[in-house]
Structure 1
Amino acid sequence: MSLGQKSYEDLLQEIKDLEKENQILKNTILSADTQQTKVSNLLQFTQFSIDTISDSILWLDENGKYVFVNNAACKNYGYTKEELLSMTMFQVDPLFTKEIWDAHWKEILEKKTFTIETINKRKDGKVVPIEVTVNLVEYGGKQYNCAIVRDITEQKLNESKLKQSAIRLAELNATKDKFFSIIAHDLRGPLGTHREFAKHLSERISSFTESEREINLQVLEESSENLYSLMENLLNWARNQTGHIQFQPIRIQMYGLVNSVLELFLLSIQKKQLQIRNEIPQTLEIIVDSFMMETVFRNLLTNAIKYSFLDQTITIGYELIQNKGETSLFTHRFFVKDEGVGMTEDQIQSLFRLDKKYSTPGTDSEKGTGLGLIVTKDFIEKHNGILWVESEPKKGSIFYIELGQIAIE
């Protein structure tokens, strides 16, 4: 009887122990399920993060084949995930060859992680600059390059803008230096000479003969004209640099405009006994800014007269040029040709640059600043035109003006 009770109690205890173990097992399973849920949620969160970031993430094997790409890669490259996973990096990076990739892979194995810049081609053919962060990853006994790719188009544009700003700043500094150089030397010198000559003339004019007075007054007039031209160029250049000159095109007869400019140089023309040919058609009328074009021809004729010898010819001409491939579009081309001293190629390259002061004395020791041609070039560009010169030493120079579509008949 007692043995039977003991057996019953033992059996009951065993049942209780089994229930306890069962509960522990249930708790363990529940904990495992909870842990698995957490891991699953974490994996989903990680995958979500990878797929929603804007940077492309691409895993490549040692042969450059894509083995994993995120959604951003598909969006940025324009391919589906299946298309990318069937491709190699050589199909999207035109700068990489098999040889370059092999050297790149060795670098990955050595450095583990680093950054490079290259270019990639999208499915639509568009080429974009990219920054690639390279990471060596080992998974499942294999090595991969986990590449994080970022489009740096905007960064490159900003860098380009910064470079342009730096260039512009350098140009402005050169402009400032040129401005003060002209004021300190090129303008001060002629003004001082003009003042001294006028003083000398006023003190001794009563002792001059009529012929001497006429000669000295002509010299004074010529000096005044040169000073006025220098001041005009200086002011026009400064106003143009600060954007204070408005472009106001009107219809004008070019033959008459050039003749009015030539009248300013009658004394200089007579002094060198020059022959002037205005071969611009008298009926030619085009739409230009008359003030700017007067300044352009005044500066070009100043140079032509300055560098001409006695009894030579200066020609002002015109051609109507038909644009290649455009049967209905024409370009107005003017030129000012002299037979004077001419220029070397190095001198021509320095003509239109502020940072390289170029001005040589004329055939009668006339002085200048080189500023006139810079103003001329600026004013021609206001007309969407171009200015260039053809010249050889001792054979004279031809300055060409080609006006854009703003100047129309």
Structure 2
Amino acid sequence: MKLNRIAHFIRFRISSIFAILFFLLLLSISYYYISYKRGQWEKDIRANLLEILVGKKSKLEKALSSRIYYTKGVAAFVSVNPNLTNEDFYQLAKELIKEDSVISTISISPDCIISAIYPQEGHMTAIGLNLLEHPARKEIVEKTIETHKTFVAGPVELVEGGVAFISYTPVFNRLSTRDGDFWGITDIVISKDKLLDDAELVAVDNGFRYSLKGTDGKGENGNIFWGDASVFQEEPVKIIVDLPDGSWILGASPVNGWSHYLDQDKTLSILLIVSSIIISFLFWLVVRAHQKIKRNARELSAIFKSMHNLIVEYNRKGEYVKIAPTNKSLLFKPEKELIGKSVHEVFDTDRANLILHATQECIRSKSLVVIEYPLEVGGEPRWFTARLSYKSEDSVIFNAYDVTEKKKDEENIRQSEKKLKELNATKDKFFSIIAHDLRNPLSNFQSISELLHQEYDHYNDEQKKQLIQSMLSSSISLNELLENLLKWSLSHRNELFLKPAKILLQPLVKESIAGVEHIANKKQVVVESCIQEEATVFADKNATHTILRNLISNALKFSRTNGVIIILAKDESIDGASYRVVQVVDKGIGISQERLSNIFNVGVQSSTVGTSQEKGSGLGLILCQELTEKQGGRIWIESEEGKGTTVSFSLPVNSLKDNRRLRILNHS
């Protein structure tokens, strides 16, 4: 009696140790998976935030560049009209900026001395100011003259109050020499707050904080001039806002910090830990039950770069009147072939009609008209957005800029959305499997455990064996599901490493048949192997065994009582390479064509109940497809409802040396 107690205590300790080790294993897997999901979560948030920043960058660049164009327009006009009078300038400035409240003033400075400013009211004291002698403007003006580029300075505090950006553009007399002699400067004062309002920028929006840095276009080296300064101290997502010469940096970070998002998976963490505890407890029960019965049973995831715009003057008839000296590389044809020509002589009918109708609508309404169109320039397809501004009763200013990168970004977003839907389908499939297919074996374990706990002394040995047999069946089902889920997860994380070698098929088939022998005997189904002894394949042994086990289990699941399942093998040649095709043939209930078309689709629940009400997850066939394709083969199904099913998969007989095979093995 004492020896029995000692043996019982030892068996109890051993089963407890195994259960604890199993729990630690599940806990380790859960911890690794949670860590992986946390990293993926932050990557997704950063990617989504970058997409938002791309839109805000586009609006800010658009709002800023549309005002800078005024100085470029004035500079272009003055360069061909160097004797422009102040009255002509006032009229030109009035026509250009109209009622644009974002612009404070616009002025011209021949020889860098301000001669005219619009509007005049409240700004007349600036007349006669020598920009090269002004300590705050001298360096900027000299840089503008030296580089021949437009320069955006600021933000700076204005004498009359407020904060603004100042855009300087050099003017060169194109009538004097080919390259043009320096004529002077034109500048525009842009209200900072009104510009940001026009670009729809707010410091806090939808749970994110935004900030801008790069005073005087110095980018990362510039000071922060808008938004929450702490944004750039919290590993923000950043994007470059391009200026004519220089850049700003637009940064963003969550209001509650990045750690707020990393805490979103607490529910999953708790679920995995609780599941690990429950499964470990059930495993302990199985080990304990097996010890009592047999003593030896054990089983177990810009729009712009820099002002690439084209300015053209069209008349009412759609004829080229003037082409400003901006980015002429965007011209459809050389300038000399365009002046005086109609758009119908340059473009195809649809494009010409679009530009002509927009021109006439702009003249009719005397308001801004915006169009968008594709065009092939220099042999490359591009997309353009054009802003048509009213100039006179017979002409408009056509301002076109390249938005090809924006179009590409939109296409990338569409592709990202498509990929996200596919990932969500995979995720939903996993949750469906976990919620539905773990429930049945776990419920059986719970029910039988309660019976054994409450009525143990009232059952005879035969009844206890029957209950434990039910627990065994549930554990086998649970083990197969967990094994498939683990391999599926490893495959999708590219962590399923295959070691192909020449292996015999017959022993693998016999081993797979032996694994389901007790189920086949219960259903009185004969599983027969017709595989030749010498039949070999060049494949991974464990992966091939998984394929055979799943296919034979499926055939058995859908076979009728007294049915027959046959496993065959034949040879075929594809592109000069030898393959061995293994077929699992049953005469069961078959598969409908509707289900057959979606049977390998991870986003569609394709599992059905077997002939003896067996439950399945639908993951087995999808796993078989992945394991077959990763080994250089393929899998297909032929079935007729009510008459049976033949599942075939091919594997190479020898090692494939072509590039395609090498890529598959390396990826695996």
Q: TM-score range by the shorter chain?
A: 0.5 to 0.7
Shift of residue 308, structure 1, vs aligned partner: 1.9
Please identify, of 355-364 and 335-344, the stretch whose mean Cα deviation from structure 2 is larger.
335-344
Give CA-to-partner distance per residue, 1:244-298, whole Å, 9 cap, x none.
4334444434454444333322233344444546566655544434333332332
Contact 1:248–1:288 (CA under 8 A) maintained in structure 2: yes
In structure 1, distance between residues paired with 2:398 and 2:499 = 61
In structure 2, distance between residues paired with 1:197 and 1:281 = 44
The residue that corresponds to 1:41 in the other structure is 172
The residue that corresponds to 2:616 in the other structure is 368
Shift of residue 346, structure 1, vs aligned partner: 3.4
The residue that corresponds to 2:572 in the other structure is 320
Contact 1:92–1:120 (CA under 8 A) maintained in structure 2: no
Q: For 1:369, what is the secondary structure of its paired residue?
A: coil
Identify the match of residue 607 of structure 2 among 359, 367, 372.
359
In structure 2, distance between residues paired with 1:290 and 1:120 = 56
Q: Which amino acid aligns with 1:134?
A: R
Please identify, of 399-408 and 165-174, the stretch whose mean Cα deviation from structure 2 is larger.
399-408
In structure 2, distance between residues paired with 1:280 and 1:64 = 79
Once the two structures are superposed, the pairs formed by residues 163-178 of structure 1 within 5 Å of their partners are 163-178=414-429
The residue that corresponds to 1:348 in the other structure is 596
Contact 2:338–2:346 (CA under 8 A) maintained in structure 1: no
The residue that corresponds to 1:299 in the other structure is 550
Q: For 1:75, what is the secondary structure of its paired residue?
A: helix
The residue that corresponds to 1:264 in the other structure is 515
The residue that corresponds to 2:487 in the other structure is 236
Q: Which amino acid aligns with 2:517?
A: L
Contact 1:254–1:280 (CA under 8 A) maintained in structure 2: yes
Shift of residue 364, structure 1, vs aligned partner: 1.3
The residue that corresponds to 1:121 in the other structure is 376
Give CA-to-partner distance per residue, 1:94-120, whole Å, 9 cap, x none.
793666566555555566434444322
In structure 2, distance between residues paired with 1:102 and 1:331 = 64
The residue that corresponds to 1:208 in the other structure is 462
In structure 2, distance between residues paired with 1:236 and 1:383 = 15
Q: Which amino acid aligns with 1:150?
A: D
In structure 2, distance between residues paired with 1:100 and 1:123 = 21
In structure 2, distance between residues paired with 1:283 and 1:102 = 78
Are residues 1:131 and 2:379 paired? no
Contact 1:132–1:149 (CA under 8 A) maintained in structure 2: yes
Q: For 1:238, what is the secondary structure of its paired residue?
A: helix
**Shift in alpha-carbon separation, 1:148–1:401, aligned structure 2, 3 A:** farther
In structure 1, distance between residues paired with 2:310 and 2:510 = 68
The residue that corresponds to 1:10 in the other structure is none
Q: Which amino acid aligns with 2:641?
A: P
**Shift in alpha-carbon separation, 1:118–1:288, aligned structure 2, 3 A:** farther
Q: Which amino acid aligns with 1:239?
A: L
Contact 1:66–1:87 (CA under 8 A) maintained in structure 2: yes
The residue that corresponds to 1:3 in the other structure is none
**Shift in alpha-carbon separation, 1:255–1:405, aligned structure 2, 3 A:** farther
**Shift in alpha-carbon separation, 1:93–1:384, aligned structure 2, 3 A:** farther
Q: Which amino acid aligns with 1:343?
A: I
How many residue pairs align between the two structures?
364
Contact 2:565–2:584 (CA under 8 A) maintained in structure 1: no
Shift of residue 238, structure 1, vs aligned partner: 3.1
- TM-score, with normalisation over the residues of structure 2? 0.44
Considering only CA atoms, is the larger Rg found in Structure 1 or Structure 2?
1
Contact 1:55–1:72 (CA under 8 A) maintained in structure 2: yes
In structure 1, distance between residues paired with 2:577 and 2:343 = 48
Are residues 1:150 and 2:402 paired? yes
Contact 2:369–2:389 (CA under 8 A) maintained in structure 1: no
The residue that corresponds to 1:182 in the other structure is 433
Once the two structures are superposed, the pairs formed by residues 71-110 of structure 1 within 5 Å of their partners are 74-76=328-330, 80-82=334-336, 96=350, 104=358, 107-109=361-363
The percent of aligned pairs where both chains have the same amino acid is 26
Give CA-to-partner distance per residue, 1:52-111, whole Å, 9 cap, x none.
942344555666665655677653578644466698767997793666566555555566
Q: Which amino acid aligns with 1:300?
A: L
Contact 1:113–1:133 (CA under 8 A) maintained in structure 2: no
Gaps of at least 5 residues in structure 2 are 1-81, 87-108, 112-169, 175-179, 184-243, 245-305, 652-659
Identify the match of residue 288 of structure 1 among 539, 556, 559.
539
In structure 2, distance between residues paired with 1:391 and 1:398 = 6
In structure 2, distance between residues paired with 1:285 and 1:396 = 27
In structure 2, distance between residues paired with 1:91 and 1:262 = 78
Shift of residue 337, structure 1, vs aligned partner: 3.9
Are residues 1:192 and 2:443 paired? yes
Contact 1:77–1:121 (CA under 8 A) maintained in structure 2: no
Give CA-to-partner distance per residue, 1:191-223, whole Å, 9 cap, x none.
3314645765976774539xx96x877666544
In structure 2, distance between residues paired with 1:59 and 1:33 = 19
Q: Which amino acid aligns with 2:503?
A: I
In structure 2, distance between residues paired with 1:160 and 1:184 = 36
Please identify, of 388-397 and 56-65, the stretch whose mean Cα deviation from structure 2 is larger.
56-65
Q: For 1:342, what is the secondary structure of its paired residue?
A: coil
Shift of residue 137, structure 1, vs aligned partner: 4.5
Identify the match of residue 503 of structure 2 among 252, 256, 264.
252
